[in-house]
Structure formats: structure tokens, C-alpha cells
């Protein structure tokens, strides 16, 4: 699979490619980068000329991961399938909104899946209360102002720097607790620490992240 992925020829959408390439370097975040595929570049190709081959790579890599991620966080497989499909449809449609200098492709795709999950939950709630007015757009997809975009790019540097200085142990505990939403007892056994320690370790990791983000560059 990797050989096939690497065979994708390098970017031809001008200017942004070098930046996009830099982004593909292994970051400490994903403990072990599995491929050298430049997802940001592939998204750029979808945006620039509706490149279906590029999109196929994105689909084959991310759709099963979105589904796997959602199931792991407690969603029924059918519902996870639907959101995984819709997420990739949205990746195609919103590819032009993706900023390669900003959060990585995986983080961007996560936010799409998250917003779809929120929408689905609200739709379900609304259906059981049919007398409610239709849902106002909550701004999850709001278009950014240029100032916001600039500020966000600035933020990305700070955020990546802070995360790279968070210890492995701390990012793991944050991930287990908040992202995978595992109960404390499970976290205790996964990390081999007493149940009583879990809470304080989570709190410590969160305030450490806050401190790292607050540090002046």
C-alpha cells in the first residue's frame, strides 16, 4: 500500500507545495508516522482540480480510520459508517477551505467528523421534539476573516511547539481520557497506575498543556 501511495506524483499546484511538504515530516504527535504520504498535498489536489485519484487515497486511508475512531469512542457501527462516509464527502466539498499551513490533515478531518457527529446528535434530538424550530447554523463552518486566518497560522506554530514538549505520558493520558473518552478504571489499567492517580495525572497533564501554550515564544 505504501508503495502505491508514494507513487502519487509530487505537487503541481504552485507555491503551496513546499510548505505542504514540510508539514508531512513526522511530528512527535503521531508516535510513529506510518507513511510519508503528504495528505495536505492530496487535499490541495482535490481542491485545485477535483483530482479523483488523490481523493481515492484520502478515502482509503481516512474513511476506515474515521469509522474505527468513532466506534472506539462508543458509536454504533452503522452510525459510524454514515458519519465516515459523510466526512469524506465533506472532505471533497470543503477541500478548498483546508489550509495546508494550518492544522494537519488528520486534525482537519477530525473536526469535520466531530461536527457531523454533533449535527447528527442534534438532528436526532430535534426529531424527538418536532415542535422545535429548525436548527440555526451554529457557526461551526463559519467562513474566517483574513485576520482570523493569520492569527490561526500563528497559533499553529505555538500549538505544535507546545504539543512537542508535552511528555508522551501526558499526551497519552489526555488522549485516553478526553479523546477516546475511556473510563478512569480503564485508563488506570492501560497505564498500569492506581485508579486514584488517574485523576491527578489528567489534571496535571491538562495544566501542563495550558502552561506550555501560555509560554511566550
Q: How far is the CB of 14 from other proteins (least distance, A)?
A: 26
Cβ distance to other proteins smaller for residue 15 or 214: 214
Q: How far is 165 from 2, CA to CA, in rounded Å?
A: 30
Q: What cell was used for 49?
A: 482540480
Q: Is 5 exposed, middle or buried (0-12, 13-18, 19+ CB in 10 A)?
A: middle
Cβ distance to other proteins smaller for residue 14 or 22: 22
Q: How far is the CB of 187 from other proteins (least distance, A)?
A: 14
Residue of 6, 195, 15, 211 lying closest to 101 (CA atoms): 15
Cβ distance to other proteins smaller for residue 15 or 205: 205
Q: How far is 34 from 173, CA to CA, in rounded Å?
A: 22
Q: How far is the CB of 39 from other proteins (least distance, A)?
A: 9
DSSP, res 179: I
Q: How far is the CB of 82 from other proteins (least distance, A)?
A: 9
Q: How far is 190 from 171, CA to CA, in rounded Å?
A: 14
Q: Is 194 exposed, middle or buried (0-12, 13-18, 19+ CB in 10 A)?
A: exposed
The SS3 of residue 34 is coil
Q: Which residue has the cell 452503522?
A: 78
Cβ distance to other proteins smaller for residue 35 or 189: 35
Q: How far is 175 from 169, CA to CA, in rounded Å?
A: 10
Q: How far is the CB of 157 from other proteins (least distance, A)?
A: 10
Q: How far is the CB of 193 from other proteins (least distance, A)?
A: 19
Amino acid at each position: 500500500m505504501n508503495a502505491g501511495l508514494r507513487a502519487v506524483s509530487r505537487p503541481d499546484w504552485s507555491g503551496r507545495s513546499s510548505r505542504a511538504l514540510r508539514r508531512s515530516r513526522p511530528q512527535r504527535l503521531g508516535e510513529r508516522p506510518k507513511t510519508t504520504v503528504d495528505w495536505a498535498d492530496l487535499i490541495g489536489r482535490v481542491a485545485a482540480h477535483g483530482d479523483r485519484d488523490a481523493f481515492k487515497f484520502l478515502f482509503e486511508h481516512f474513511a476506515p480510520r474515521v469509522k474505527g475512531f468513532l466506534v472506539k469512542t462508543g458509536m454504533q457501527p452503522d452510525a459510524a459508517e454514515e458519519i465516515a462516509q459523510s466526512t469524506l464527502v465533506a472532505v471533497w466539498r470543503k477541500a478548498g477551505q483546508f489550509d495546508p499551513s494550518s492544522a494537519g490533515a488528520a486534525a482537519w478531518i477530525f473536526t469535520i467528523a466531530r461536527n457531523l457527529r454533533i449535527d447528527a446528535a442534534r438532528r436526532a434530538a430535534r426529531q424527538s421534539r418536532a415542535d422545535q424550530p429548525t436548527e440555526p447554523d451554529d457557526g461551526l463552518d463559519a467562513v474566517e476573516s483574513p485576520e482570523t486566518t493569520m492569527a490561526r497560522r500563528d497559533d499553529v506554530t505555538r500549538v505544535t511547539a507546545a504539543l512537542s514538549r508535552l511528555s508522551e505520558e501526558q499526551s497519552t493520558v489526555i488522549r485516553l481520557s478526553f479523546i477516546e473518552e475511556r473510563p478512569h478504571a480503564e485508563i488506570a489499567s492501560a497505564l498500569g497506575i492506581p485508579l486514584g492517580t488517574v485523576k491527578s495525572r489528567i489534571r496535571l497533564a491538562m495544566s501542563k498543556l495550558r502552561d506550555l501554550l501560555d509560554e511566550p515564544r
